Structures are given as C-alpha cells and as structure tokens.
Amino acid sequence: MNPTLTFHGAAGCVTGSCAELRTGDARLLVDCGMFQGSKTLKALNYEPFPFEPSSIDAVLLTHAHIDHSGLLPKLMRGGFRGPIFATAATRDLCEVMLADAGGIQESEVRFLNHRNEQRGRPLIEPIYTAKDAARVMGQFERIKLGETVGVAKGVTATFWEAGHILGSASIEVHTAAEPEPLKLLFSGDLGPGGSEFVADPRGPSGVDHLILESTYGDRERTEADASARRRLLAKALVDAHAAGGPLLMPAFAVERTQELLADLLTVMDSGEAPQGDIFLDSPLAIEATEVFLERGWNPEAGRNPFLDVRPSSRLRFLRKPWESDGLERLKGWHVILAASGMCEAGRVRKHLKRLLWRKEATVLLPGFQAAGTLGRLLADGAERVTIQGDEVRVRARVETLDVYSGHADARALVAWAEGRRPIAGSVFLNHGEPEAVRGLRGRLIGAGFAADQLLSPTVDTTFRLGAHRAEAEEGAQPRIAPEAASALDWHNARAEFLLALNQALEEASNDAERAAMLRRLRGGLSKSARVDAGQGAPTPPA
C-alpha cells in the first residue's frame, strides 16, 4: 500500500502539532502537541486520540514547545510504549516543560472541579499528571543532528537544524515501503536565521514531499539584527518607563525568556534603557534557563550566548508563590517576565489581572499570539477582557515586539522551501491560520511552485502519498470543523457579550433604563426563559 499522512493537529491552526505517517509496516507520529486557543479547540486535548496510541511504533519530536510535545504523557497513558526520538536539548527541555504542564493540569482541574461541584456538574480528570510526565521521559532516545537512525521497521530519520529554539529540528524521513521508497521532510517550526542565540535553519535538498510550517506565511517582519533588536527593546523600555511603569512581558518560558533576559541585562547595563529590577516570575523558565546555560553552545557563534544571562544584582528569580505575590506591593519602575507566552496559563494571568487596568503599566507581547488566546485578544486591542472569570478593563499600554519571534517570516519560509528543491511531489502547508496559509501559498506560486503541488490540510485529513503526488482521502470524520480550528467560539462570544452588557449597564443613565435593557434581552432568550421572565417582556421578533 502507499504510505499515508494524516494531520491530527496544526492544520488550519498553529497548535496541536501531530502528523501520523503510516506505511505498510509502521506507524509513526511526528510531534504530539497540545491544542491552545478557543475552548472548543482545547477540548480536543481531553478527548481520545483519533488513533490507537498502542498502535504507534515511534514518535519523532521536532522540539520541546508544548504545542508540539504536550500530549506525549497522554499518549503514554493511552498505551504507547515506543521510543520518542529527540535531540538531547529537546529531551532536557521536555523534562522540565512536561512536568510543569502536568502540574498545571492538576491545579487547573482542581480549580475547575471546585467550580463544577458548586454548579452540580460532573467532575473532570486531568489529562495527565506531573508523575505521568516524569514516566514518559523513560521513552526518550537522544538523536544527534545529521545522524541517520532506524526509527521503525523500514523507516529511517535524520534530524536537521531548524534554528527555532534550542534543540529544534526539521526531520527527514525515508520510507522503504512498497510500492516505492519516499523521502519526506517535516520542517517543524523554523527559525528566522541571523540570530546570535540559535543557528540558522538548514535542510536537505531533493525531497518527495515537504511539510512546511506557515505561521508567518502572510507577514514580512522588518529585518533586525542583534543590535537592532536590542535597540527596539531599549526603546520599548524607555517608553514603558516614561509611562510610569511597571513593564510586564508575557514570554514563552523556553528560548524567548532567556533571549530577553540576556538582552534586558545588556541594554540596562549599557545605559540604553532605564535601569531597574528584572523579575523572572516563572519556575518553569528558571529551570529551563539551567538547560540553556548547559546546552546553549552555538557552533556558528563559537560561544554560548545564554551565558549573558549572568548573575546580576538586578535579576531576581522568583520560585515560590509567595515571592511572586510580593510583586503586588512593588511600586515604580521594574520589569516582570512571566509565562505563559500567550497568557493562557501560569503566573502571567495574575499579573495581568492586577496591572491591565492601570494606565501607567505597559504589557509588551514579544511572541506570536494564536487566535482565541487572551494574548491575541490583547494584541487585537480588546478594551475589556475576562481573566479566570473576573472582568478587567484594559487601560494599560499594550504593545507588541515581534523582532524576538522565533519564527521565520514569509520571505524566510519561501527561501527555505526553495533551498529544498527539487521537490518531486507535494508541499503541505500546515501550522498556520488560514490567512497565513493563503499568504504563503501565493508567495510560493510567485516563486515558481506549481499551484497543484501546494496542499492546505485541515485537522484529521489523510493523504495517500505517491512519489509524484499526494491525494486527499475521502470520508474522513474530523473532530472539529475546519473553519473552527482558528476561529473564536461561542465561549469567546459569550465573554465578549457579557463584557459589552456590563459596560452598557454601567453607562446607562438610570436604573429604569437598566431594567428595561435587561427585560429586552431576557425577552430574546428561549421560550422557556421568556415564560420565566414573566410579564412585561416584549414579544421578541420571530
């Protein structure tokens, strides 16, 4: 049979990376990541996998980010016993990240179950625990960049530098299966190149099928070398200081945080930016920093650039919750870095709750914000947001700083794809929101790729792989409608509606007007609700 490739995530959206390659002899996953974004999308994390975990022979892991690795402990709980191939740095970062994700699972489920009990709803189970995360580490097998390893019957893999974060790799896969051998290349997340922290992305040329990430497929960033990046960071600090401070940066705990810390210390020490205390308020990022100090050697630079995260009297690592709570009493200018990068979990939400309504505060978003996340709502200019059920008015300055992005922009993606030519078969554009995928598609056609060579998979679609083309299989039952993967859902709509309602009630001139407003809305609800609402409710339009 021809091999097949199924996209179980990161198709029409940027999270939940998981591709299943099936040959006559073997079944492999490339990545097994968690979904992030709307509640509808995140609900997939709790549902069973759309395949039998025990039938998977091996996992090839591109990098440690949780949207690529976050469901590995769940896979193991479901019966997967095979090896997980990853670089040494990816393995070490996963050890801290998965343990943290398990801990977050446990505490969030405790919080949710408390509410479920109050509301008389059934209790839920964590997807996995910190213990499961520790257990799955026993299945990791280290693989070096450039080394070709047999990963399952009739399948070999070679990892290439992807330049996205420490340890990140693109993965070349050879299948010896009938009817003909195939060479596939999974880009994983690709870095922008030209960074002093990670190497430039590389890859083989001449592949049958290319699976290409599209995160920034519709966006070209201003090119910024290391010193230009620091100048922009310094400017953001000067502005935040002038507004009265403090500055809060929701940062990805792995790579972004360490790069920012190194540069924050540099621009403060050089006097380019106002000096002040820098608090790293993320136990995960603190632990990950140890991995960077140990494994961050950059062969191109001939040094470990993360050693710039040097001991400094202005850099404070906050491990204990009470140390984090102490920040509330702090006045004046200081900088806080806290995870998670898209404001979905972790201590950053607590700081947003207490700082967003203060107009002297600045929130600086240094990474990509996926649709449906709190970070994206802020980046898009929301005036009010709901954080853990509490409504918060946004009066702080909210800025973005995309020069610290770990992703290649549209131009760099096209250049990287061109470097992989000749490509005999198809190019799958995954890991991108629909607009980004369309943007990249247009650019690739402009660069000479044939339109019928470019495929845009959606979640749970399967393709049959021939040597010269891939064809979509009919009849798949996706777990989520393609357009829902990166759209706001009814939970988002409800939150937005309630915020608008509260604002309208506040602004109404008297109580009679408020009561009339509520009566009208009540009248628009279902028939039983209309009966409940009693007399006085106007008849709603049909």
Contact pattern for Zn ion over residues 33 through 72, marking x by CB under 5 A: --------------------------------x-------
Interface with Zn ion in residues 83-122 (CB under 5 A): none
Query: Does residue 213 belong to the site contacting Zn ion (CB under 5 A)?
Result: no
- Select 34 or 537, whichever has its Cβ closest to Zn ion: 34
Give the count of residues interacting with Zn ion (CB under 5 A): 2
State the residue number with the nearest CB to Zn ion.
Answer: 65
Q: Of 161, 189, 213, 402, which one interacts with Zn ion (CB under 5 A)?
A: 189
Radius of gyration (C-alpha) of the chain in whole angstroms: 24
- Select 189 or 308, whichever has its Cβ closest to Zn ion: 189
- Select 169 or 417, whichever has its Cβ closest to Zn ion: 169
- Select 189 or 433, whichever has its Cβ closest to Zn ion: 189
CA distance 348 to 486: 23
- Taking the complex as a whole, the smallest distance from the CB of residue 381 to Zn ion amounts, in Å, to 25
- Select 15 or 453, whichever has its Cβ closest to Zn ion: 15
- Taking the complex as a whole, the smallest distance from the CB of residue 297 to Zn ion amounts, in Å, to 20
User: What is the phi/psi pair of residue 399, to 5°?
Assistant: -125, 155
> With helix as H, strand as E and coil as C, how does 210-223 read?
EEEECCCCCCCCCC
- Select 65 or 209, whichever has its Cβ closest to Zn ion: 65
- Taking the complex as a whole, the smallest distance from the CB of residue 200 to Zn ion amounts, in Å, to 16
Q: Please report where in the chains the tokens 């009693």 appear, as a residue.
A: 534
Angle (deg, nearest 10), helices 256-269 and 226-243? 70
CA distance 269 to 224: 21
- Taking the complex as a whole, the smallest distance from the CB of residue 466 to Zn ion amounts, in Å, to 30
Contact pattern for Zn ion over residues 9 through 38, marking x by CB under 5 A: ------------------------------
- Taking the complex as a whole, the smallest distance from the CB of residue 189 to Zn ion amounts, in Å, to 4
User: Residue 542, exposed/middle/buried by CB under 10 A (0-12, 13-18, 19+)?
Assistant: exposed
- Select 65 or 443, whichever has its Cβ closest to Zn ion: 65
- Select 65 or 350, whichever has its Cβ closest to Zn ion: 65
Q: Name the one range near Zn ion by CB under 5 A: 185-193, 208-216, 242-250, 445-453.
A: 185-193
Identity of residue 539: T
SS3 assignment, position 150: strand
Interface with Zn ion in residues 373-392 (CB under 5 A): none
Angle (deg, nearest 10), helices 283-295 and 88-118? 170
Nearest to 466 by CA among 186, 182, 211: 182
Long-range contacts of 292-299 (CB under 8 A, 24+ apart): 292/166, 292/255, 292/258, 294/92, 295/88, 295/89, 295/92, 295/166, 295/167, 296/166, 296/197, 296/258, 298/196, 298/197, 298/198, 298/199, 299/199
Q: Please report where in the chains the tokens 């494994």 appear, as a residue.
A: 295
Chain positions contacting Zn ion, by CB under 5 A = 65, 189
